[in-house]
A and B are shown apart, each in its own frame.
Chain A
Amino acid sequence: MRMADIATFATGSLRGSPTRTLLMMLAMSIGVAAVVVLTALGEGARRYVISQFASLGTNLVIVLPGRTETAGISPGMLVGQVPREITLDDAEAILRSPAVKRLAPLTIGSATLSRNGLNREVVVAGSTSDLLEVRHMGMGIGEFLPPGDIHDASPVCVLGDLMRRELFGNQPAVGQWVRLGDRRFRVIGVLAPQGESMGLRTDELVIVPVASAQQLFNTSGLFRILVEAKNRDSIAQAQHDAEEIMFARHRGEKDVTVITQDAVLATFDRILTALTMAVGGIAAISLAVAGVLIMNVMLIAVAQRVKEIGLLKALGAPGRRIRNLFFAEAVLLSSVGAVAGLALGYIGSVFIRQIYPSLPASPPWWAVLAACGTALGTGILFSVWPARRAARLDPVTALAGR
């Protein structure tokens, strides 16, 4: 029998019972669509997190006070002593490492921002001119913090875009004076609007020189130091140098933690990929259910078409040809169902992107392949038994319709 004839025959018998065929295809396509949509969501979440990290900066090494590993109890801990803080001098020392391109010390606190009777509580970030580059921020109007001595506490500030709108409305902000806590600062620039990144809304931020912030919050310690390595290859060196320098400066105590952005990123990547696969796997179970449905309906089809099978045998079709005809039906059914499911899944992903534009939901290629493969696989696997049953029918009883 010719391949084309097998296909025509299988199509004909599928079209012979349209309701049954449509229901089976529906089951199959829902399964495939579920895999596609759910993995698209997982992949979207993964890409979202990665893009958030990328917006944080590139080749970053972050130095933060305190250590993450436990190594016995120090006497200091018993009396409630906090780890030694990181100072601006530490930051300057780290900058001397050849692997470091630039760095931005960071002090974070909150203060009341007021102008002409308008006031609100804001997050104040104290840093240096390099923060703009390190954190990939963009300027709207005016200038960022001036370069110069890191210890210079000049009374200038840069506003987030939302802060500018709330305090100044349509009036020009640059050059005006605002009050932060008990000090006065002159606005020298406004950040470009850039939305949220890693939970820190830069639009609602007020940035001042780090020394000014330390005076404002009456502290000499830093929240963290953002270190940008020269390039991707020198990240490890920068991390090592930072650790060594801090170790030496803190008189042989490892009381700071140095993490790389890459390590954090890789962890998130792993977690979210695993999550995507798990969700995809759960969706694939629905494909197996569709497979069982196909088997059930094919068994009914074999029972309904007993006479036809008997006739085909009488007309000279050996058992294996009848088996192949039923196989062809299952393959056709699963592949059309899979294609319909893919279409459905992609439409669903587009829909999700419309609702959540920040989530780049699109199914990963491996999930698409796996969904189609599973659909075809279950379709064929679950038609083995019905097809064999059809092939083994005794033509005499089949024709008698008993």
Chain B
Amino acid sequence: MIELSQVSRIFEVGDQQVAALRGIDLRIAAGDYVSIMGPSGSGKSTLLNLLGLLDRPTSGTYKLDGGDVTALNDVQQARVRSEKIGFVFQAFHLVPRLTAAMNIELPMVLAGVSPPERRARVERLLENYGLRDRADHRPDQLSGGQRQRVAIARATSMNPSVLLADEPTGNLDQTTGKEVLNLLEKLVEQGVTLIMVTHDPVIGGRAARQIHMVDGQITSENPAQSTRSRAP
């Protein structure tokens, strides 16, 4: 359960202030499939970063599963990221020197999961994402689709409740892009909350909830739900 109220994010560029987000109110229920669309510079990535606790709002509150997470310190936020949030990036962001299996293992290594438990989970994820024969390949030996599958496996390795995807198909061709979307949507069926940023209306249109943003504000929602967007 995600609740944003009156969230703003203002960047200081030189001596000018640029508002990337202006008073966002947003509720996302657990298990929702939400796409955030809008032209570049509309603030959709900033919103995703805030949701992922990579950035802090200038004002407003962010409640995750009932608790206010904006007030948490660095260590506590890192813990929330580790336990509740998974990221899938457009550029995959795999560690080049690590094998596919080691990349998948990384969040569990950072969280201090025991090695036998880690191995078991990595095995299962490799199996689930069809990467069994690619386990010992480094990212530069993998195709784009395989890389994104590794990234999704990594994002789900800590069993997060929220998955944040920033243009997950942006670097992929249409066929592999569709495959990746199918994998993400399968996770939604399993109860994961998926929030996906995209500028592609075809891909965004597959989501149950579609949020459109312009100039740091939510302009419309399709289909309209209980969450309302603030009119300018």
Contact = CB atoms under 8 A, between A and B. Distances in A.
A395 B82 CA distance: 14
Interface string A1-17: 11001000100110110
Contacts of A314: 52, 54, 81, 87, 93
Interface string A307-343: 1101111111111110000000000000000000000
B78 A311 contact: no
Interface stretch (B27-35, B107-115, B204-212): B107-115
Nearest to A395: B54
B83 A1 contact: no
B79 interface: yes
Interface string B32-75: 00000000000000000100101100000000000000000011
Given A311-B95, A396-B54, A316 B109 contact: no
Interface in B67-121: 74-75, 77-79, 81-83, 87, 89, 91, 93, 95-98, 106-107, 109-112
Contacts of B110: 1, 312, 315-317, 321
In the complex, which of the residues B74, B75, B89, B110 has the most CB atoms of chain A within 10 Å of its own CB atom? B110
A297 interface: no
A13 B102 CA distance: 13
B158 interface: yes
A172 to B, nearest CB: 80
Nearest to B82: A316
A316 B111 contact: yes
A1 B105 CA distance: 12
A318 B76 CA distance: 8
Contacts of B106: 312, 315
Interface string A120-146: 000000000000000000000000000
A316 B74 contact: no
A312 B109 CA distance: 11
B13 to A, nearest CB: 13
B61 to A, nearest CB: 20
A1 B82 CA distance: 12
B93 A399 contact: yes
Contacts of B97: 12-13, 15-16
B54 A315 contact: no
A316 B158 contact: yes
Interface string A41-55: 000000000000000
Contacts of A2: 109, 112
Contacts of A310: 93
A316 B78 contact: yes
Contacts of B96: 16
A1 B109 contact: yes
Interface in B115-136: none
B75 A315 contact: no
A15 B95 CA distance: 13
Contact of B87 (A13, A15, A315, A401): A315
Interface in A206-235: none
A172 B126 CA distance: 93
A313 B82 CA distance: 9
B107 A315 contact: yes
A2 B111 CA distance: 9
Nearest to A392: B74
Interface of A: 1-2, 5, 9, 12-13, 15-16, 307-308, 310-321, 395-396, 399, 401
23 contacts: A1-B109, A1-B110, A1-B112, A15-B97, A307-B93, A311-B93, A315-B81, A315-B87, A315-B106, A315-B154, A316-B82, A316-B158, A317-B78, A318-B74, A318-B77, A318-B79, A319-B74, A319-B78, A320-B75, A321-B78, A395-B54, A396-B49, A399-B54
In the A-B complex, the 3 residue pairs with the smallest Cβ-Cβ separation, listed nearest first, are A316-B82, A318-B78, A16-B97
Given A314-B54, A316-B78, 11 more contacts: A1-B110, A314-B81, A314-B93, A315-B110, A315-B154, A316-B79, A316-B81, A316-B82, A317-B82, A321-B110, A396-B49
